[in-house]
């Protein structure tokens, strides 16, 4: 199976944090990109560099990005029809659109099921009908729940502790089913805790690094839920999108699953201390009760992604945090 020289790649959730970095790298690799996003948390500003439609639209000069406003849990077929009629078939799909908060999913499990599982089935139905050559899915370390052996590998039992984790795992099963029964090749990448520029700190459901960096820069208190001894594997977005794009442009058949993390475990307390330092030291660290459904320790085994994709996370935490606090200029 070979790609056309400038494959058309659909990126659901492409206006979001990881999505917009994915779009940037796909364009840098010579792809044409169609973004499908409902802008529930995504922002047009994340795609601002591609906003000059005459130059960047699919019919324009290179590079090429088209942005469609659509809810992926319905309306995918109708939204893509005029694009494919004019520009040819979607060859590959990177499916990132989701409700991304573990806490939100506990309060709103049915919404999470509709968007996070229903959205994946919509994407797979489209991929089956259109003969898409690869679907890459943003799965999560949340599929594992609390595990007995760390670092966790992909063959560990999955016992998610939140509807978010349940629907990510259900989506993985759907990917496997569509690969086995309908011949839709796919890769589920289990992202650990991704951070970097463009992660939105504005909601209480936002990722911890975006919240802590924002508060430390303003000299405000950082609130740790629980004692701060819980751990995460924080992986820089610039590394993550290399794994995503390499998986999307690859031609392996069947279905594969791989962790995307660093293999390094960091406590939330240590993270808070680094970010207080980077913010100038004016913030205090305070504590609030631990969250329900909280995973206590999380760190990835990274050998599978290395074997499948040649992927290794290259960015040290301090470097990634420095780039997050003072993002590099847009080129």
> Which active-site residues does the annotation give?
164
Interface residue with ligand NAD, options 26, 73, 102, 308 (CB under 6 A): 73
Q: Which does residue 119 bind out of ligand NAD, ligand UD1, none, counting CB within 5 to 8 angstroms by kind?
A: ligand NAD
Interface residue with ligand NAD, options 42, 163, 238, 279 (CB under 6 A): 42
Provide the β-strand partners of residue 67: 35
For ligand UD1, the closer CB: 91 or 298: 298
Q: Which does residue 205 bind out of ligand NAD, ligand UD1, none, counting CB within 5 to 8 angstroms by kind?
A: ligand UD1
Smallest gap from Cβ 181 to ligand UD1, in A, equals: 27
**Residue from 330, 293, 296, 299 nearest 317 by CA:** 299
Is the four-CA dihedral 82, 86, 92, 97 of positive or negative sign?
A: negative
Q: Categorise residue 311: left if φ over 0, alpha if ψ from -120 to 50, beta otherwise.
A: beta
Q: What are phi and psi of 41, to 5 degrees?
A: -125, -15
| Contact pattern from residue 106 through residue 145 relative to ligand NAD, giving x for each residue in contact according to CB under 6 A and a dash for the rest | ---------x---x------------------x-x-----
Give the interface segment with ligand NAD, choosing from 37-45, 60-68, 175-183, 268-276 (CB under 6 A).
37-45
Q: What residues numbered 161-200 form the site for ligand NAD, per CB under 6 A?
A: 191, 193-194
Q: Which does residue 17 bind out of ligand UD1, ligand NAD, none, counting CB within 5 to 8 angstroms by kind?
A: ligand NAD
Residue 19 engages ligand NAD in binding (rule: CB under 6 A):
yes
Residue 105 engages ligand NAD in binding (rule: CB under 6 A):
no
For ligand NAD, the closer CB: 193 or 231: 193
Smallest gap from Cβ 170 to ligand NAD, in A, equals: 13
What is the distance between the alpha carbons of residues 42 and 200, in angstroms, rounded to a whole number?
A: 9
What is the distance between the alpha carbons of residues 232 and 134, in angstroms, rounded to a whole number?
A: 29
Give 189: exposed, middle or buried? Use CB within 10 Å, 0-12, 13-18, 19+: buried
Smallest gap from Cβ 284 to ligand NAD, in A, equals: 26
Written in H, E and C, the secondary structure of 177-236 is HHHHHHCCCEEEEEECEEECCCCCCCCCCCCHHHHHHHHHHCCCCEEEECCCCCEECEEE
Output the six-digit token pair for 12.
């659901």
Interface residue with ligand NAD, options 4, 39, 253, 284 (CB under 6 A): 39
Tokens 């729940």 -> residue: 145
For ligand NAD, the closer CB: 117 or 178: 117
Q: What residues numbered 260-319 form the site for ligand NAD, per CB under 6 A?
A: none
List Cβ neighbours of 114 (8 Å cut-off, separation of 6 or more).
73
Cis ω before 285 (30° cut-off from 0): no
- Which residues here bind ligand NAD, judged by CB under 6 A? 12-13, 15-19, 36-42, 71-73, 96-100, 115, 119, 138, 140, 191, 193-194, 207
């Amino acid at each position: 199976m070979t790609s056309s020289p400038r494959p058309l790649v659909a990126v659901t959730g492409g206006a979001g944090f990881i999505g917009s970095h994915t779009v940037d790298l796909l364009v840098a690799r010579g792809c044409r990109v169609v973004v499908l996003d409902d802008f529930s948390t995504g922002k047009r500003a994340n795609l601002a560099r591609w906003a000059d439609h005459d130059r960047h639209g699919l019919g324009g000069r290179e590079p090429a990005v088209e942005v469609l406003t659509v809810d992926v849990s319905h309306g995918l077929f109708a939204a893509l029809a005029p694009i494919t009629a004019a520009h040819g078939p979607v060859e590959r799909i990177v499916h990132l659109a989701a409700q991304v908060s573990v806490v939100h999913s506990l309060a709103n499990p049915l919404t999470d099921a509709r968007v996070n599982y229903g959205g994946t089935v919509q994407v797979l139905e489209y991929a089956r009908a259109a003969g898409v050559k690869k679907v890459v899915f943003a799965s999560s370390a949340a599929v594992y729940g609390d595990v007995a052996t760390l670092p966790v590998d992909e063959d560990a039992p999955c016992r998610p502790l939140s509807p978010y984790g349940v629907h990510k795992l259900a989506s993985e099963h759907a990917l496997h089913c569509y690969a086995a029964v309908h011949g839709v090749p796919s890769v589920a990448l289990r992202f650990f805790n991704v951070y970097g520029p463009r992660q939105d700190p504005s909601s209480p459901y936002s990722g911890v690094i975006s919240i802590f960096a924002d508060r430390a820069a303003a000299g405000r208190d950082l609130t740790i839920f629980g004692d701060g001894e819980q751990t995460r594997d924080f992986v820089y977005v610039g590394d993550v999108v290399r794994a995503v794009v390499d998986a999307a442009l690859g031609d392996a058949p069947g279905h594969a699953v791989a962790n995307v993390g660093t293999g390094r475990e960091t406590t939330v307390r240590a993270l808070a201390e680094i970010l207080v330092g980077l913010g100038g030291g004016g913030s205090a660290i305070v504590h609030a009760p631990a969250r329900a459904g909280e995973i206590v320790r999380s760190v990835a085994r990274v050998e599978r992604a290395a074997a499948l994709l040649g992927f290794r996370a290259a960015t040290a935490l301090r470097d990634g945090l420095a780039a997050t606090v003072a993002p590099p200029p847009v080129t």
